[in-house]
A and B are shown apart, each in its own frame.
Chain A
Amino acid sequence: MGMSAKYVETDVIIIGAGPVGLFAVFEAGLLKLRCHLIDVLPQPGGQLAEIYPKKPIYDIPGYPSILAADLVDNLLKQIAPFRPGFTLGERAERLERHPDGRWRVVTDQGTEHVAPVVFIAGGLGSFEPRKPPIANIADYEQGRGVAYFVRNPDEYADKRVVIAGGGDSALDWAIYLADKAQALTLVHRRNEFRGAPDSVEKVRLLAEEGRIRLLTNAQVVALGGNGALSHVTVEHDTQGSIRIETDYFLPLFGLTPKLGPIAEWGLQLQESAVVVNTYDYSTNLPGVFAIGDINTYPGKLKLILCGFHEATLACQSAFKIVHPGKKLSFKYTTVTGIEGLPAEKPASC
């Protein structure tokens, strides 16, 4: 991966690097099609990596039981000969026609991908931070006090910060920012934390030393401030409402998948899923296919197993689009083995 290439040309752009997107690289590779994957998460694996890496999966043929994280590792090994490209940590924002008839996918960070075929393997959508249901929270986003990620810790130097959450990111940032911030408050709904035990220990120690104000059995329920955030209101189980003057509020409650920009691409949708033709899982946009949990059709089941099948059939049609007029012969891997793709020549631009 290395430095982020700002322009990528390939045969198949795959949006979503979950299990189905990864396996599509294998099936495409057998047909000598090159693939490039885009995912909003910083690592491949989708839900398997983000939601349940340590959970066993029991319905992968040939594996009586396999941990989700191990399935991702195996898929990465399986597709390695086909040298897929990755744009990770970026969200596919726009899907549009390139002037030459191919498709162009542009990410939120401006990386441009061009290919004749696009596979949307976006699962439940892109993972985005969980936002507390506080009515006016959006008024304070975008530099006005509320942030769901810590991008630049220096921003919080000598400021007053309130963090909410009980997981590792809330604990880790509370510990880190306790030194930097002028005042740091950590709000959590119960007295136990699910984060790593030594982080929990550190937070309690910092609280005893008075460097963190720890408010447990409490939740942030309201925000206030004219134009920019100036205070939050915390509801404590026994002490009632507490007002805290602050410059920043960081709700760190993990990530949740949302359909996101895919909804704006002109695809035929049905209840947040992309309608496909089961002949080849093509969508209403020619050259754009949808595979895995993101698609819907009569009888659809959201299973990894079914996504693998969908990816395989979609590749057959993808080949015909990438190589119009060329005949495609079907071969068993057992007969022919796996012939990888050569390394790409470095881009000249």
Chain B
Amino acid sequence: MSEHLITVKVVDRTQRIHTLQAPTDMGLNLMEVCKMYELPVKGTCGGMALCASCHVYVLSEHELPPPSEDEQAMLDSAFCVRANSRLSCQIRLRDELDGLQVQLAPESE
């Protein structure tokens, strides 16, 4: 296996846990990897932090760069926002995030 491969665990909305293998050398973000695995993440805006349809809760203690003002502003249009809420399109995958665990936030209707 390539050394630039990490494991991310995603809890879906039915509490099922999915284990994803994600490369860290392709400039991917977490939303894109969820879509690659066909998890129910919409990513409507394509990853510009402009739609909040990839809202997740970060469950593990990994250190992530704080959300930008754009991401914060977009989280304003999300629902059930908590302290550990992030837009998964703004989480760029890197080696340090091996073992990251997130949970998909409820989908707005």
Binding site for B on A (CB under 8 A): 47, 51-52, 55, 124, 130-133, 165-167, 188-190, 192-194, 219, 253-254, 256-257
Q: B45–A133 contact, CB under 8 A?
A: no
- Known contacts A52-B45, A256-B51, A257-B44, A166 near B109 by CB under 8 Å: no
Binding site for A on B (CB under 8 A): 44-45, 48, 50-51, 53, 72-73, 75-77, 79-81, 106-109
Q: How far is the CB of B63 from chain A (nearest CB, A)?
A: 21
- Known contacts A51-B45, A166-B76, A219 near B81 by CB under 8 Å: yes
Q: B106–A133 contact, CB under 8 A?
A: yes
A and B contact pairs by CB, cutoff 8 A, 19 listed:
A51-B44, A51-B45, A51-B48, A51-B50, A52-B45, A52-B48, A130-B79, A131-B109, A132-B79, A133-B106, A166-B73, A167-B73, A167-B76, A188-B76, A189-B81, A190-B76, A192-B72, A193-B76, A256-B51
Q: B44–A124 contact, CB under 8 A?
A: yes
Q: Chain A residue with minimal CB distance to B105?
A: A133
Residues of B contacting A: mostly: loop
Q: A133–B50 contact, CB under 8 A?
A: no
Q: How far is the CB of B100 from chain A (nearest CB, A)?
A: 24
- Please, which residues of chain A bring their CB within 8 A of the CB of B48? 51-52, 55
Q: B44–A253 contact, CB under 8 A?
A: no
- Please, which residues of chain A bring their CB within 8 A of the CB of B45? 47, 51-52
- Please, which residues of chain A bring their CB within 8 A of the CB of B108? 130-133, 253, 256
Q: Chain B residue with minimal CB distance to A123?
A: B44
Q: Chain B residue with minimal CB distance to A254?
A: B77
Q: Chain B residue with minimal CB distance to A257?
A: B44
A20 to B106 alpha-carbon distance, docked (Å):
32
- Known contacts A189-B81, A256-B44, A51 near B72 by CB under 8 Å: no
A71 to B80 alpha-carbon distance, docked (Å):
35
- Please, which residues of chain A bring their CB within 8 A of the CB of B76? 165-167, 188-190, 193-194, 253
- Apart from the given pairs A166-B73, A190-B72, A256-B108, 12 other A-B contacts in the complex at a CB distance below 8 Å: A51-B44, A51-B45, A52-B45, A55-B48, A132-B79, A133-B80, A133-B107, A166-B76, A167-B77, A188-B76, A189-B81, A253-B77
Q: How far is the CB of A71 from chain B (nearest CB, A)?
A: 15
Q: How far is the CB of A338 from chain B (nearest CB, A)?
A: 32
A96 to B81 alpha-carbon distance, docked (Å):
42
Q: How far is the CB of A300 from chain B (nearest CB, A)?
A: 14
